[in-house]
Structure 1
């Protein structure tokens, strides 16, 4: 299947994002975060999703990304990953490796972390 394409499955609107689309989304979010018209206390003003759709559409002509469900779903995915990374980095033994752009830890620290997470799910 081509990158950036949609597929059938559980949700009709399942979409596989490519790096160029992720980069356009991050750039659009950055632009909105520095624009006083869109920035509002702890988030964005109403209608920001449509503005994101416009900005991404300008950056990648014909990409077909819609604010709902595509951009909304991707933001939820990225926020979830961000929270998981933040939680790991707040745990003793986890650290950020600037050279490899990833979290690093000893295997024993990771194994113990997984046990704690699994027990919290039960």
Structure 2
């Protein structure tokens, strides 16, 4: 069996560039502010295709697809957001802070 064509978790990983991440976040903010795809703390169906379209406009040579690329990246970004949010505001956040210049989490030495 040729394993180079199999799909599944961990297969066919795509690494996002910083520019792609920035354009995705920029597009998400515009979708949110536009309100057309906004729905009580989430997005309405069709938002992934709209993001794909916007990313292709901003990054003409990108090969990003709504599924699996954008959907997966949004899931990863959401997970990272919750980790940082919990570090800064959670019950056990003692010792963590935010550096506004570097836009990074800071920690005291013992942490």
Instruction: Please say whether Structure 1 and Structure 2 have the same fold, judged by a TM-score greater than 0.5.
Output: yes
Shift of residue 18, structure 1, vs aligned partner: 0.6
Q: Give structure 1 stretches of 5+ with no counterpart.
A: 1-7, 111-122
CA distance in 1, matches of 2:101, 2:18: 20
* Residue 11 of structure 2 is aligned to residue 11 of structure 1: yes
Q: Which of 96, 104, 109 lines up with 1:107 in the alignment?
A: 109
In the alignment, which residue of structure 2 is the partner of 1:67? 66
Question: Which 4+ residue blocks in structure 1 deviate beyond 2 angstroms?
Answer: none
What is the DSSP-based 3-state SS (H/G/I as helix, E as strand, rest coil) of the residue aligned with 1:107?
A: coil
Q: How many residues in Structure 1 have an aligned counterpart in Structure 2?
A: 101
CA distance in 2, matches of 1:80, 1:96: 18
Shift of residue 22, structure 1, vs aligned partner: 0.6
Q: Aligned ranges for residues 1-122 of structure 1 at < 5 Å?
A: 10-12=10-12, 14-90=13-89, 91-108=93-110, 110=111
Shift of residue 35, structure 1, vs aligned partner: 1.1
TM-score (norm 1): 0.77
Deviation digits for residues 18-63 of structure 1 (CA, Å, limit 9, x no counterpart): 1111111011101100112211121111110110000001000020
What is the DSSP-based 3-state SS (H/G/I as helix, E as strand, rest coil) of the residue aligned with 1:15?
A: coil
CA distance in 2, matches of 1:45, 1:70: 18
Deviation digits for residues 83-105 of structure 1 (CA, Å, limit 9, x no counterpart): 11011102122111112221111
Across the aligned residues of Structure 1 and Structure 2, the Cα RMSD in angstroms comes to 1.7
TM-score (norm 2): 0.84
